[in-house]
Amino acid sequence: MSTAAPAPAKSISKSQFVDSTELLADPAALQARAAEDGYLFFKQRLPKDEVLAMRAEMLAIVEKHGWRQPGQDALGGLIDYDAINRLTEEEMHRTDVGVTADAYHDVQKIERFHRLPHHPRLLEIYRTLFGREVLVHPRHIARMVTPHTCMVPTPPHQDFPYIQGSAQTWTCWFPVGDCPKPLGGLMVLRGSHTQGYLPVQPARGAGGFAVPLCPSETEWMEGEYEAGDVLTFPSHTVHKAARCQFKDRIRLSMDVRYQPIDEVVDNSSLNPHCTLKWDEIYANWQSDDLKYYWRKLPLKLSAWDDGYLKPRQRIC
């Protein structure tokens, strides 16, 4: 007599990211894994010291604004809960990144913040993946997830409606410092990119919209990130942030976008992710080589479509 147990009901499963570093030597295999999983993870892709130098600069800004606990070294991410919570929700919501507009502008002015995304170790990923020259979008985002009571984890979403242009635009997300799971790192829904654009509904958290999930969509991938690790995925992959479980720590990360240079790009991807102008961002830079670099490139612009962020029902 068969003793086979009935199939268990599908439950949320969380698996560890698979490290794709060795596939960088085999473009076809890398492309096949990207097509299958809808994400790639690379352990220790960026030099740790460069990521930590970025962290020190971001934390110095947090300290300047009075939200950092005293008595830590330059890399300590302990936050003064009461100080950050003296900010109003309105002050916080102007940026959507976890700090006020003033502090975010300070971060956007950091030269290293705009140089790190051009690191040869990152460009190698996208040259291998695309088999073509790469456009680095100049619009980089810093996430400074503080324990302000208005902060909620980034809900499940695709980046495409926010970035548009080519669906072959890839997001590169990396923590600026170690990011163990309880600190609230980014997670991806494996294989979700194959569905193309998915409808959205208004939601709390970065972006303001979420993809409603279907009951079968349970295969979340996650990682115990260390400084230097990198996650990347195309703009139809559904992803979300895990909840930060600490009331006294900041989660620092960057998100950056790459695409084949001969694909279309929306003009918004060529503007800063804040109200500053490029000239204001560049004011104190030491080098000129990365100023307006995209203006020398033969880019093809696409038209923005508001329809992608119009709330619609999702049929599962």
Three-state secondary structure call for residue 202: strand
Binding interface with ligand AKG (CB under 6 A): 143, 154, 159, 171, 173, 186, 206, 239, 241, 253, 255
Distance CA 30, CA 80 (A): 43
Interface mask toward Fe ion for 99-138; x: CB under 5 A = ----------------------------------------
H/E stretch holding 143? strand 141-145
Distance CA 36, CA 135 (A): 24
Nearer Cβ to Fe ion (67/126): 126
Tell me the residue nearest to Fe ion as measured from the CB. Answer: 159
Check residue 308 for interaction with Fe ion (CB under 5 A): no
Residue choice 159, 178, 217, 229 for contact with Fe ion (CB under 5 A): 159
Strand order in the sheet with 13-16: 13-16, 219-222, 186-189, 239-241
Shortest Å distance, C-beta 40 to Fe ion: 16
Shortest Å distance, C-beta 101 to ligand AKG: 18
Shortest Å distance, C-beta 128 to ligand AKG: 21
Find which of ligand AKG, Fe ion, none residue 173 binds, CB within 5 to 8 Å per kind.
ligand AKG
Residue 118 burial by Cβ neighbours in a 10 Å radius (0-12, 13-18, 19+): middle
Burial 185-220 (b: 16+ CB within 10 A, else e): bbbbbbbbbebeebebeebebbbebbbbbeeebebb
Nearer Cβ to ligand AKG (67/160): 160
Token pair belonging to 253: 């990360």
Distance CA 237, CA 241 (A): 13
Shortest Å distance, C-beta 16 to ligand AKG: 19
Of 66-74, 141-149, 159-167, 300-308, the segment contacting Fe ion by CB under 5 A is: 159-167
Nearer Cβ to Fe ion (191/205): 205
Nearer Cβ to Fe ion (106/159): 159
Find which of ligand AKG, Fe ion, none residue 97 binds, CB within 5 to 8 Å per kind.
none
